[in-house]
Amino acid sequence: MVRGYAGRILDINLSEGSIDVLTLEESILRQYIGGRGLAAKILWDRLGSRWREIDPLGAESLLVVMAGPLTGYIPGGRICVSGKSPLCNGIIGSTVGGEFPIELKCAGFDGLVVGGRSEKPAYILITDGQAEIRNAGKIWGLDGKQTIRALNHEVREILAKAEPKYGEWKEPASLYIGPAGETLNRTAAVMQKWSHAAGYGGYGAVMGSKNLKAITAKGTGPLPEIENKEEMMSFLNQIREGAFKSQTPMIWGTANGGYPTGFKSSSEPVRNWQEEWHDEKSLSADKFAWRLWVKRYWSDYGCPTACLKIAVVKTGPLKGAITDNPDYELIAYCGTNLGIFNPEGVAYVSSIVDDLGFSGINGPNVMGFAAELCQRGILTKEDFRGIEPRWGDAEAFGKLAWLMAKREGIGDILAEGTYRAALKIGRMKGVDLLPFAVQFKGMEVGAHGIRSGLDGPFGKWPMCYACSTQPGDHTSIASTRFGGEAMSTLSDSLVYCTISYRAGPDLLYEFFKTITGWELTPDDWANNIGRRIIQIQRAALLLGGPDFVWDLLRDEDNPSRWYEPLPSGPRKGAMPNREECLRMRSEYYQLMGWDDNGIPTSEELRRLRLDDVDKALEGIRK
């Protein structure tokens, strides 16, 4: 019996309507741990030999949802959503916070794999030890807030009917998609609660392609047995102490970055990354706090940090907008990058982006790109069905988000994400639009620029997005320090929250041991377990397909905009040196056991016992 795990996952095929329960083997868990690692392993085992042919939005593709051994025990319930990404055609481990993984583990499952395609809109309901596929006809088409409302009502009724004497049933927890996922917007997220998104990767579109509106769980069991309860409690108290002392995320949330990332670091996207500096004090966290927040401390399961905050616009033309925080990334992408510099405007766009189920980074990145095309006269009001997305016009951007979600007018093309839209509109207009597309291998980038060199690891290692197996993902950056993406594969596989967890790396391994009983060392993680996950993700990214296969010399680089000098602020004129970047890239390839073309070497793959990955890469080695 493995400790810390429920030990079982659901294997569901929506075409056939079949539901199987699989037992997880201890040897696989020890090698891949959970979350991102286990998801990558399952995806590779099932699709690896035909990776390039698999359409991420076809019935053959898989949606994988996987908790980890620490989920539930470590503060802030998180779960990893994965699959073949319709943005980069590789494997992204996209994590999201909330209560769903707790309900799932209490129902007796660590995760699920969903394949096939339901004929009609469906949702999956998971209860103690079982699951069923249910009709989602009444929920399809609803926005995020209405989806949660409808699911909570329906599932509580089902539970009360089944067990009328139980007492009041608590609400279930759900992963769901909004309208953007239903219409297969490649930038759609898998959502949880309100405003909680597994954003990178585009897995909302994968759910939509399967006609799967939601996965809902309600378990009544305890969390799985663990190895050493007393030690776990003592470590948990230390972890909580670490969180209690970490006051900045608690008091301001990540909104804390809204002003200084622009003003101090010169690394916040402004008007589609044409600038990265601003001195807009109106975007400081205190402005959001005093104008909008109705709840200052909002947590996910078990979390004392409460970096979430609930923002409501109570007056004026944007009245009625409700969102979390907004989080730094959304202050940047639904704010500064659209030229919006007031809290109400940012909350308004964030609220719509959340409700429609877009990733708050990827979806609005497309809008910033579209607005620049409007600024340059490449697209006009007619293309936008009468909307004019001018910098700073929050209402217009709200309408543009709807246009994308409904795939109307130019929205139908923008729904394909920034990269694909740039190529398509470029062909239509006969212009090269890639200079305005700020993305990496089809994935829109996080809101921390590299040009100023001042934004921590992003500035220190300017190839951090380009070399990542999760291109553009600010939570999984590559760097020669910390063994590549080792810390990110760790947090995404165990699965824990890097904002709440502030107790240092050593305690983490100890905590893991008290839960699973297994020894894990930083070296083993960096060189073997974590590395194995990275190599599988790397192979999938290199194989890509079916619509795009990445050319490493061209695509494993920063977008051209990031080689333009910064036009404003104290770091005016700054830009990375491309020669230096390419040298760093080679250095990184060596560190990761990749050849000069960035392909994992046979030697490295055989060392990690990934012979099948080695075989799959044979065809692309030069």
Chain residues binding another protein by CB under 8 A are: 72-73, 75, 99, 102, 106, 145-146, 148-149, 152, 163-168, 170-171, 193-194, 219-223, 225, 229, 233, 240, 244, 294-295, 297-304, 306, 310, 312, 314, 320, 322
Nearer Cβ to another protein (130/597) = 130
Identify the CA nearest to 92 among candidates 2, 223, 186, 224. 186
Nearer Cβ to another protein (146/380) = 146
CB 303, min distance to another protein, A = 5
Identify the CA nearest to 496 among candidates 189, 3, 68. 68
Nearer Cβ to another protein (268/354) = 354
Name every residue whose Cβ is closer than 8 Å to that of residue 4 and which is 6 or more positions away in sequence. 69, 70, 73, 224, 226, 227, 515, 516
Identify the CA nearest to 565 among candidates 457, 452, 444. 452
Nearer Cβ to another protein (166/248) = 166
CB 312, min distance to another protein, A = 6
CB 613, min distance to another protein, A = 37
Contact call for residues 73 and 38 (beta carbons, < 8 A): no
Nearer Cβ to another protein (232/349) = 232
CB 222, min distance to another protein, A = 4
Name every residue whose Cβ is closer than 8 Å to that of residue 72 and which is 6 or more positions away in sequence. 101, 102, 105, 223, 301, 302
Alpha helices by DSSP H, 391-479: 394-406, 411-414, 418-429, 456-460
Identify the CA nearest to 357 among candidates 59, 79, 67, 139. 139
Distance of alpha carbon 616 from alpha carbon 52, whole angstroms = 10
Nearer Cβ to another protein (244/577) = 244
CB 96, min distance to another protein, A = 14
Nearer Cβ to another protein (146/560) = 146
CB 220, min distance to another protein, A = 4
Nearer Cβ to another protein (191/207) = 191
Q: Which segments of 62-172 are extended strands (E)?
A: 63-66, 78-83, 94-97, 111-115, 122-127, 130-135
CB 196, min distance to another protein, A = 9
CB 497, min distance to another protein, A = 12
Q: Which residue has the tokens 């209560």?
A: 99
Residue 251 parent element (H or E): helix 247-252
Distance of alpha carbon 184 from alpha carbon 406, whole angstroms = 10
Alpha carbon of 77 to those of 70, 96, 198, 202, 519: distances in Å? 9, 8, 13, 21, 23
User: What residue type is assigned to position 265 of the chain?
Assistant: S
